């Protein structure tokens, strides 16, 4: 049985004061039977590490460079994230793909850079509304995952995959549990062809996960938890989602 995982994606939200309140609030809601992590903006990694150490909640970042080091102004390497005790790093979030032009190969290279530093990449895949309506959902997510499989090869089992339909992110419009499960099953089959450990891999659903829909989503056979944006900024709501995961 796979242990469920809930990852909060704070995106570009937070302040010293708000973070302290939020982290204290989440800590107060423990223990959780699911594994729980928060992915915070880079400048807040240090205080997050201090707040969460010894509290059984992991932390991570929302992106990393594909390069190990060098003249890449503004970028942050996976090695730097490792120095701050990160366990996870989100790569290929649709907001990075859409606003920063990240393509499938760059996302795969970032996943490799993360693995090289013993971080767990949370690799996001997902179709836009236009792609869904054109019947391209399966082809799009398979293409996105395929680039990562091709690059990571035998190490692919070490990643977490997050299916996040772009039309469900921040919109309040969640995929139905059945819609999400259908894509998760497809991704699991694709992983099965690439690794003998596909049954051990965690596949998260993301896109308007809330306390009131989390349970039904997480009850699906191939949904192993969630990647949670907006609802991860409220301690009680996030904790309720973590509890819905088991
Ligand atoms: P949302 O974001 O929960 O606010 O829809 C999810 C995500 O983008 O990771």
- pLDDT at site 172: 87
CA torsion 44→60→103→196, rounded to 10°? Answer: 180
Query: With helix as H, strand as E and coil as C, how does 19-47 read?
Result: HHHHHHHHHHHCCCCCEEEEECCHHHHHH
First to last CA, the chain: 12
What's the CATH number for 5-244? 3.20.20.70
- pLDDT at site 21: 98
* CB neighbour list of residue 126: distance below 8 Å, 6 or more residues apart: 94, 140, 141, 144, 163, 164, 165, 166, 169, 206, 207
Q: What digits encode the pLDDT tens for the residues 178-214?
A: 999 999 999 999 999 999 999 999 999 999 999 999 9
35, 95, 102, 164: the catalytic one is 164
- In the chain, where are the structural domains located? 5-244
* CB neighbour list of residue 176: distance below 8 Å, 6 or more residues apart: none
- Nearest ligand 1 atom to the CA of 231 is 3
CB 143 within 8 A of CB 107: no
Q: How far is CA 164 from CA 205, 212, 223, in A?
A: 6, 18, 12
Q: Record the pTM.
A: 0.98
- pLDDT at site 243: 98
- pLDDT at site 123: 99
pLDDT at 35 over 90: yes
Of 61, 95, 163, 170, the one to substitute when testing ligand 1's pocket (max ligand atoms within 8 A of C-beta) is 170
CB 141 within 8 A of CB 127: yes
- pLDDT at site 1: 78
Question: What is the per-residue DSSP string for 146-183?
Answer: HHHHHHHGGGGGGSEEEE--GGGTTSS-PPPHHHHHHH
Residue with tokens 């890449």: 72
Spatial distance between the Cα atoms of 224 and 213, rounded to a whole number of angstroms: 14
pLDDT at 162 over 90: yes
Q: What digits encode the pLDDT tens for the residues 103-157?
A: 999 999 999 999 999 999 999 999 999 999 999 999 999 999 999 999 999 999 9
- pLDDT at site 215: 98
- pLDDT at site 90: 99
Of 174, 225, 228, 242, the one to substitute when testing ligand 1's pocket (max ligand atoms within 8 A of C-beta) is 228
- pLDDT at site 213: 97
| Mean pLDDT of all residues in 160-189 | 96
Instruction: Average the pLDDT over each of 49-58, 164-173, 175-184, 236-245 and give the range with the smallest value.
Output: 164-173
Pocket-forming residues, ligand 1, beta carbon under 6 Å: 9, 164, 169-170, 206-209, 227-231
Q: What digits encode the pLDDT tens for the residues 43-84?
A: 999 999 999 999 999 999 999 999 999 999 999 999 999 999
């Amino acid at each position: 049985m796979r242990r469920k995982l809930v990852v909060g994606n704070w995106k570009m939200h937070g302040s010293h004061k708000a973070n302290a309140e939020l982290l204290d609030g989440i800590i107060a809601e423990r223990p959780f039977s699911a594994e729980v992590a928060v992915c915070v903006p880079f400048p807040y990694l240090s205080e997050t590490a201090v707040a969460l150490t010894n509290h059984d909640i992991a932390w991570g970042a929302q992106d990393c460079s594909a390069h190990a080091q060098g003249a890449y102004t503004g970028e942050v390497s996976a090695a730097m994230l490792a120095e701050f005790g990160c366990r996870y790093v989100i790569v290929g979030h649709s907001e990075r793909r859409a606003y920063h032009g990240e393509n499938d190969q760059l996302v795969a290279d970032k996943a490799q850079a993360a693995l090289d530093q013993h971080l767990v990449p949370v690799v996001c895949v997902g179709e836009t509304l236009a792609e869904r309506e054109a019947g391209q959902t399966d082809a799009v997510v398979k293409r996105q995952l395929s680039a990562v499989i091709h690059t990571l090869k035998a190490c692919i089992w070490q990643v977490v995959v997050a299916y996040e339909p772009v039309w469900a992110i921040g919109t309040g419009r969640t995929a139905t549990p059945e819609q999400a499960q259908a894509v998760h099953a497809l991704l699991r089959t694709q992983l099965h062809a690439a690794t003998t450990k596909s049954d051990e891999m965690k596949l998260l659903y993301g896109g308007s996960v809330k306390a009131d829909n989390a349970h039904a989503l997480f009850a699906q056979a191939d949904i192993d938890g969630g990647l949670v944006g907006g609802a991860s900024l409220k301690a009680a709501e996030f904790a309720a989602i973590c509890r819905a995961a088991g």
